[in-house]
Amino acid sequence: MSSFRIRPRFTHVIDLGVDAAREQIVSRVKANQSRCEVKNFPGFICLRIPEQDRHYWSPRLNLSLETTEDGQTLVTGTYGPNANMWSSYLYGYLLVGTLGLFSGILGSCQWWLGMSAWGLWIFSGMAAIAFGMYVMAQFGQKLAARQTFLLHQIYESAVGEEVDIR
């Protein structure tokens, strides 16, 4: 299970209504309670690695359940890190992106005016940091691949079908 996406995802249609699909997934996942934790909300299910097996890069599977026109359930699954990891990357990208944008604008203006374009050096540094953060996210994704695969197996056994991740 390898992807260049930061948050791999899938979509899957179940031939049940939303409430019946949610109940089926939750009841079958709870049968594997030792393998994962389940949080159940209307229209949303979250599968997480148990606390004792969780590490900094541990994934979780967020399932969004919506009704289709045919009365079936469209399940959209998104694999991602826990909230603390996701928020640190979100704020990191926000900070690096903001500094990169303004330093790029400053450096471009300096260059066009024939001045020393030191702003472009800062821009280059921010681009390198953003690339480094992306590489770190890929590395963390590889460290969590076994747990991601486990969550995917649990979901597939809950719905009784194979589901492709994109």
How is the chain split into domains, by residue range?
Answer: 9-81+146-159, 86-138
**What digits encode the pLDDT tens for the residues 11-67?**
999 999 999 999 999 999 988 766 889 999 888 999 999 989 888 889 999 999 999
Give which of 34, 59, 63 is closest to 48, Cα–Cα: 59
CATH number of 9-81+146-159: 3.30.310.80
**What digits encode the pLDDT tens for the residues 55-97?**
888 999 999 999 999 999 999 999 988 888 888 989 999 999 9
- Residue type at position 68: T
